[in-house]
Amino acid sequence: MSPKALDHDSINENVKRAQYAVRGELYLRASELQKEGKKIIFTNVGNPQALGQRPLTFPRQVIALCQAPFLLDDPNVGLIFPADAIARAKHYLSLTSGAGLGAYSDSRGIPGVRKEVAEFIQRRDGYPTDPELIYLTDGASKGILVPVPQYPLYSAAISLYGGSFVPYYLEETANWGLDINNLRQSVAQARSKGITARAMVIINPGNPTGQCLSEANLKEIIRFCHQENLVLLGDEVYQQNIYQDERPFLSSRKVLMDMGQPISKELQLISFHTVSKGYWGECGQRGGYFEMTNIPPETVDEIYKVASISLSPNIAGQIFVGLMVSPPRPGDISYEGFVRESKGILESLRRRAQLMTDGFNSCRNVVCNFTEGAMYSFPQIRLPPKAIEAAKRAGKVPDVFYCLKLLEATGISTVPGSGFGQKEGVFHMRTTILPAEEEMPEIMGSFKKFNDEFMEQYDDHRGYSRM
Amino acid sequence: MSPKALDHDSINENVKRAQYAVRGELYLRASELQKEGKKIIFTNVGNPQALGQRPLTFPRQVIALCQAPFLLDDPNVGLIFPADAIARAKHYLSLTSGAGLGAYSDSRGIPGVRKEVAEFIQRRDGYPTDPELIYLTDGASKGILVPVPQYPLYSAAISLYGGSFVPYYLEETANWGLDINNLRQSVAQARSKGITARAMVIINPGNPTGQCLSEANLKEIIRFCHQENLVLLGDEVYQQNIYQDERPFLSSRKVLMDMGQPISKELQLISFHTVSKGYWGECGQRGGYFEMTNIPPETVDEIYKVASISLSPNIAGQIFVGLMVSPPRPGDISYEGFVRESKGILESLRRRAQLMTDGFNSCRNVVCNFTEGAMYSFPQIRLPPKAIEAAKRAGKVPDVFYCLKLLEATGISTVPGSGFGQKEGVFHMRTTILPAEEEMPEIMGSFKKFNDEFMEQYDDHRGYSRM
């Protein structure tokens, strides 16, 4: 009998080829260990509330009231909900024409929320934007030159759809900046293989690399995309997560608009944002949006059609987006509490970014750039030749070998750098900076103990010059 | 300059080819009319709460508490939430290991909720099932012989991914039953064109056709898929929506298991369910699951990998699934209210199904099967030749022409039968049975007035024999 339709031999090769390291071998092994009762510190996914971050109170109050609109008629509701949360819940329910959270919205999202997003972008960038070009999504994971190291969602999705992934390498020694000559070479190399590059992804602030791109660098990238006829995909989901004052977040759209015509009217740009990251960390709510700039109306219609096949993003996630882009204002009952909670989270993340960078840099054969933004640390692990040989004998990629040993020894679940891509012969791992601040010294201590013992075991004390 | 990456000429032909009638031309025109201030009755999408259905109280109480877990510590919480809702919220929060609704879950969904789904399936079908083979999803729209008339999500998604759609026709005169000979012909015809059929979709209860498949028919289908090496996709999202007592819902899985070995161990089956339909009607929450039967473990792993690219379904939707499969039990504080609300909705839907069928059958040149289940009515509109000619002159498919006229005249937004597929020369439209019961007489009156005037205008009183 021939193989059945869903036997492994029959399924699409693109599916088999797709790799997604964030939830790959390391994650599966960590889940097994957890089942066996071992304490696991999950630093593999940027999932703040799984690591103890408390949700912001005000948006949760608003959503709870939207979920249970009958509470709005309860005479006791004022005893447990503040008046501004009640008013805001009524506002969002009215934007759904009274249908509430239980009805599909338009596939592009609730028009009133899309309008709030447009107002937010205008406040942020100083340029008007059109709500018709803003689509709400279930998180930002739906959305192709791709930076390396990069977030492997991009490579996995490209592989799944049978596309070609054209890597460009970020410069570790230049704090993960983007070298435009390297970019040119990547596109030329792809072209020589018959691949037409169609899109370029930038992740700013960077995942896994944590850098904030400078205005000059963003301008170079925009000019490059314009010359090469590439659509620029701006993954800007970490725009609230900035841990230094020298280089604030600049949106690709603002930089593009600042450059003026003709380029500001020509470059095709799609920008992404989400409630999963930032100090909100509402990963499980699946709320996000993308904004289209200079995309022709017929293509916008096609994107609308494809979006409509999934009917609509979840409504609570849409309202979270609304709340993120229009948080409580000075004078509102909830304003001070909201600011206190938000600041508390951001300032603690800033301290953790520093603790982690310093911790890694104190370890033997480990060097690490400072996390300027986003929520990751991406230290380089200089693996000794003996460790690389041991990995080969075990049938593992060297950094996978290292990360698995780290997991078994300490319960720290990370993602090997090979899952993100790295220059040949250089090894990294990615951790989030999300473990609770009070646990950080213990975690970094436990890492240092493991790493230094590992290096002691495998290092024959020859020097390394490679960076 | 060559066209840019996202110019319409550059985008994937599969994208352009995908058609999705439920949100197509009719829906867009209805949205325009609504903006102009016209009252629109949206019967084009099965979206109960958009048409005034109130959400069930108990699940909304539980989710509101999960969204705002700090309320659980509030001394006044008992004034507005019943004790069993509080207990249940604590239960689901504990299933997330305390991370709550703000953290990604495992990409397959929360293990504890998947266990509750497995228990539900076992109670329903009488056979054990494995939670590891149940994946939670954002609604059931993610998930390929396809029934005609069919729900166009299938044709659109197949087209998008470059697949081939092999239609099989349901028998309108046999109350939309499935004729196995017709099915054989469809597969043979596809094969002669070089197309290998890989999967067959059944929608039971039917969308748009409203029939409940009999046990005998389901057995034939299962045997057919087994012989032809097809995976069976059982879209069973309307399993709670049954409006007659002769033919209760039978799951494909139960029928398969009843057939015994070897077929019960061999047929590859994937079954879908959701909180969007049934008496819950929680479309906007995006909660659902699929269950895999006889799918090899390596393929399950691939499906897990692909699911992990989207990180995780929204957590509130997952908890809605848990609540749907384990609703309040006799003795619980909320039990009687929950049963009263559920019964109220289902009994009203049953009356509306009857009102609508009778209403359509009282109209000139309209014939309509009774809606046995699901939430749609799919009357055949016998368009006179003069109407067909008028449609051609207007550049419209005849049933699109009819439905647009209906929309302009009455505000009733339907979907033309051509969006679902129909035998050549035969025309239908789909409406939901969801408008509020008290508005139904007026809506059907308004429809009858439009239809009978339309027929008066175009009908030259020649007879029709076609059905």
Q: How confident is the model at residue B143 (pLDDT cuts 50, 70, 90)?
A: very low
Q: b/e per residue, A306-322, with b = 16+ CB within 10 A? A: bbbbbbbbbbbbbbbbb
The mean per-residue pLDDT over the stretch B212-221 comes to 93
Q: How confident is the model at residue B182 (pLDDT cuts 50, 70, 90)?
A: confident
Q: What 8-state DSSP symbol labels residue A2?
A: P
Asked if pLDDT for residue B466 goes beyond 80, the answer is no
Asked if pLDDT for residue B140 goes beyond 90, the answer is no
Q: Does A308 touch chain B (CB under 8 A)?
A: yes
The mean per-residue pLDDT over the stretch B264-270 comes to 94
Q: Which of A267, A290, A162, A222 is nearest to B4 (CA)?
A: A267
The mean per-residue pLDDT over the stretch A150-159 comes to 64
- Give me the residues of A, 213-252, that contact B with CB < 8 A: 229-231
Asked if pLDDT for residue A141 goes beyond 70, the answer is no
Residues with Cβ within 8 Å of residue B379, at least 6 apart in sequence: B360, B361, B366, B367, B368, B428, B429, B431
| CA dist., res. A276 & res. B62, Å (int) | 23
The pLDDT value recorded for residue A143 is 40
pLDDT (tens digit, 9 = 90+) per residue, A76-96? 999 999 999 999 999 999 998
Concatenated DSSP letters of B202-215: EESS-TTT-----H
Element (H, E) at A336: helix A335-361
Q: What is the ipTM of this complex?
A: 0.85
Which regions of B353-444 does DSSP assign to beta strands (E)? 366-367, 376-377, 380-381, 412-413, 415-416, 429-432
**Portion of chain A with pLDDT greater than 90, in percent:** 49
| CA dist., res. B5 & res. A162, Å (int) | 17
- Closest CB from A22, A96, A231 relative to B6: A231
The pLDDT value recorded for residue B23 is 64
The mean per-residue pLDDT over the stretch A365-376 comes to 94
Q: What 8-state DSSP symbol labels residue A197?
A: -
> Which chain A residue has the Cα nearest residue B108?
A23
Which comes out higher in pLDDT, residue A462 or A122?
Answer: A122
The mean per-residue pLDDT over the stretch A239-251 comes to 93
Q: What are phi and psi of A81, to 5 degrees?
A: -125, 135
Asked if pLDDT for residue A325 goes beyond 80, the answer is yes
Asked if pLDDT for residue A64 goes beyond 80, the answer is yes
The pLDDT value recorded for residue B20 is 62
The mean per-residue pLDDT over the stretch A19-24 comes to 64
Spatial strand order in the sheet of B429-432: B376-377, B429-432, B415-416
Asked if pLDDT for residue A418 goes beyond 70, the answer is yes
Asked which of A452-461, B218-227, B359-368 is least confident by mean pLDDT, the reply is A452-461
Asked if pLDDT for residue B274 goes beyond 70, the answer is yes
Asked if pLDDT for residue B463 goes beyond 80, the answer is no
pLDDT (tens digit, 9 = 90+) per residue, B326-345? 899 999 999 999 999 999 99
The pLDDT value recorded for residue A374 is 92
A402's tokens = 């290292």
Q: How confident is the model at residue B154 (pLDDT cuts 50, 70, 90)?
A: low
**Portion of chain B with pLDDT greater than 70, in percent:** 90
Which regions of B156-310 does DSSP assign to beta strands (E)? 166-171, 177-178, 199-203, 231-235, 269-274, 288-293
**Portion of chain A with pLDDT greater than 70, in percent:** 90
| CA dist., res. B264 & res. B294, Å (int) | 8
**B49 contacts in A (CB within 8 Å)?**
99-100, 102-103
Angle between helices A315-325 and A57-67 (to 10 degrees): 140
| CA dist., res. B231 & res. A157, Å (int) | 25
The pLDDT value recorded for residue A148 is 58
**Residue B467 neighbours by CB distance under 10 Å:** 10
The mean per-residue pLDDT over the stretch B13-42 comes to 78
* Widest CA span in chain A: 75
- Give me the residues of B, 277-306, that contact A with CB < 8 A: 281-286, 295-296, 298-299, 302, 305-306
CA A372 to chain centre: 14
The pLDDT value recorded for residue A14 is 67
The mean per-residue pLDDT over the stretch A54-60 comes to 89
Compute the nearest-CA separation of B381 from chain A (Å).
27
Which regions of B3-144 does DSSP assign to beta strands (E)? 41-42, 134-137
**A61 contacts in B (CB within 8 Å)?**
68
**A79 contacts in B (CB within 8 Å)?**
76, 79-80
**Portion of chain B with pLDDT greater than 90, in percent:** 49
Percent of chain A as helix, strand, coil, to the nearest 5: 50, 10, 40
| A99–B50 CB contact, under 8 Å | yes
The pLDDT value recorded for residue A55 is 87
Is A236 exposed, middle or buried (CB count within 10 Å of its CB: 0-12, 13-18, 19+)? Answer: buried
A56's tokens = 């912001």
Q: Does A423 touch chain B (CB under 8 A)?
A: no
Asked if pLDDT for residue B155 goes beyond 70, the answer is no
Which comes out higher in pLDDT, residue B277 or A70?
Answer: A70
The pLDDT value recorded for residue A467 is 39
Asked if pLDDT for residue A356 goes beyond 90, the answer is yes
Asked if pLDDT for residue A349 goes beyond 90, the answer is yes
| CA dist., res. A243 & res. A375, Å (int) | 10
| CA dist., res. B98 & res. A54, Å (int) | 10
The mean per-residue pLDDT over the stretch B432-452 comes to 94
Which regions of A187-309 does DSSP assign to beta strands (E)? 199-203, 231-235, 269-274, 288-293
- Give me the residues of A, 395-414, that contact B with CB < 8 A: none
**A296 contacts in B (CB within 8 Å)?**
6-8
Q: b/e per residue, A339-368, with b = 16+ CB within 10 A? A: eebbeebbebbbebbebbbebbeebebbbb
| CA dist., res. B100 & res. B93, Å (int) | 5
- Give me the residues of B, 99-118, that contact A with CB < 8 A: 99-107
The pLDDT value recorded for residue B144 is 47
Concatenated DSSP letters of A74-107: -TTHHHHS-HHHHHHHHHHHHHTTT-GGGS---T
Average pLDDT, chain B: 87
Q: What are phi and psi of A83, to 5 degrees?
A: -60, -35
- Give me the residues of B, 43-72, that contact A with CB < 8 A: 45, 47-50, 53, 55, 57, 60-61, 63-65, 67-71
Instruction: Give the dihedral sign, CA B145/B150/B154/B159.
Output: positive
The pLDDT value recorded for residue A259 is 97
Highest-confidence segment of A49-63, A306-320, B158-172 = A49-63
Q: What 8-state DSSP symbol labels residue A270?
A: E
The mean per-residue pLDDT over the stretch A25-36 comes to 85
Which comes out higher in pLDDT, residue B449 or B186?
Answer: B449
Helix (H, G, I), strand (E, B) or coil at B151: coil
The pLDDT value recorded for residue A1 is 54
Residues with Cβ within 8 Å of residue B459, at least 6 apart in sequence: B364, B365, B384, B386, B387
Q: How confident is the model at residue A144 (pLDDT cuts 50, 70, 90)?
A: very low
Domains of chain A plus CATH, in order, are: 8-52+345-458 (3.90.1150.10), 100-325 (3.40.640.10)
The pLDDT value recorded for residue A155 is 66
CA B356 to chain centre: 19
CB pairs under 8 A between A and B: 256
Residue B136, beta-bridge partner list: B289
Q: How confident is the model at residue B135 (pLDDT cuts 50, 70, 90)?
A: confident
Q: What 8-state DSSP symbol labels residue A242?
A: B
pLDDT (tens digit, 9 = 90+) per residue, B399-428? 999 999 999 999 999 989 988 888 889 999
The mean per-residue pLDDT over the stretch A403-421 comes to 91
| CA dist., res. A207 & res. A148, Å (int) | 10
Half-sphere exposure of B316 (CA within 13 A, CB side): 36
Q: What 8-state DSSP symbol labels residue A401?
A: H
| A286–B61 CB contact, under 8 Å | no
Asked if pLDDT for residue B309 goes beyond 90, the answer is no
The torsion of the CA quartet A194, A195, A198, A204, rounded to 10 degrees, works out to -140
> Which chain A residue has the Cα nearest residue B197?
A5
Angle between helices B385-393 and B398-410 (to 10 degrees): 90
Compute the nearest-CA separation of B389 from chain A (Å).
29
The torsion of the CA quartet A95, A96, A97, A99, rounded to 10 degrees, works out to -150
| B199–A5 CB contact, under 8 Å | yes
**A229 contacts in B (CB within 8 Å)?**
1-2, 4-5
User: How many degrees, rounded to 5, is the angle at CA B242 between CA B239 and CA B244?
Assistant: 150
